[in-house]
Structure 1
Amino acid sequence: MESNKINYVELPARDLSLNKAFFSKVFGWGFQDYGEGYTAFENAGLDGGFFQADFCSRPQNGAALVVLYHDDLASLIPKVKAAGGHIEQEIFEFPGGSRFHFLDPCGNEWAVWCKKG
């Protein structure tokens, strides 16, 4: 472990099964369950997990926004929708690239970005 670096992130999920299925289908993540109320995700670029909760993580409520990277945003949007996600903000450009925001099936907001070509 490296000191002073972000090591782990935990996010709420109203339904662990829904989020596990969603992130497995769309992003290829694996999961390791730890009891009924917690699952850790694997192959996500950063260690972390989902805990059972009746609330969700949204930046407008003061939560941090987790941003993923993908080489082809346009090809990812149909996968997000087909797996039960909701596009919260369509693809937009910003200095250095473009991104979109989506809600996972439990209502947590995420972003996905791509570098400018």
Structure 2
Amino acid sequence: MYTVDFVEFPSKTASASGRFFTEAFGWTATPYGPDYADVAGPGINLGFQADPEEQPSAPLVTIRTDDLEQARRDVEDAGGVVTVEPFTFPGGRRFHFREPGGCELAVWCSAE
């Protein structure tokens, strides 16, 4: 099963982005170092990446799965191209891909 459940945004300052959503909407911001913040509200999870080396150029829609290896096979079999090999981050693993129309997305699974 695949579910869109996270969007990651480029940010000039992740802590300021987190503070904004906390103050404006009452959502919870969780910092992961100086360059990353997760923001959670009712039915929404966002990430803000300020590290220029890891920052997406546009909002990055992230799809959740229970089987990252199968998701990669499905992406490639459908004509997608993996742009970032699977990597581990706090909470799980993910990879990025470009679909045939040119949009970059990611697929992730939680830590097992």
Higher strand proportion (structure 1 or 2): 2
**TM-score normalised per structure 1:** 0.47
**TM-score normalised per structure 2:** 0.49
